[in-house]
Amino acid sequence: MEKGWRRTLFYIDIIVIAIFVIATVYMAKDIYMAGYNWGNATEYEKYMWRFARDVAFQTASLAWIFYRLFRCQFLLLKKP
């Protein structure tokens, strides 16, 4: 049972890291396009909202990554 749970968490970790990488790439693209469209208010606003979406995905995935990192470190330190 525990081995299956570890495998599931491993796959979830891989998916979360992929989400973080994809959100980082889209964040760079969206903030570049927002700067490029600085004079056009509608396009600028559209890309800034997309930037906010990317930051939200990054924040959530980074919180999961840090939680798993510190949880695993705690479990390793707890072993005799």
Q: For residues 50 and 30, is the Cβ–Cβ distance under 8 A?
A: yes
Q: What is the pLDDT of residues 44-57, one digit of tens each?
A: 999 999 999 999 99
* CA–centroid distance for 51 within its chain: 13
pLDDT for the residue numbered 33: 95
Written as one letter, the residue type at 40 is N
Residue with tokens 């927002």: 34
pLDDT for the residue numbered 58: 97
Written as one letter, the residue type at 44 is Y
Predicted TM-score (pTM) of this structure = 0.85
Residues constituting the chain: 80
Q: For residues 45 and 1, is the Cβ–Cβ distance under 8 A?
A: no
Q: 2 pLDDT band (50/70/90 cuts)?
A: confident
Average of per-residue pLDDT across 2-14: 91
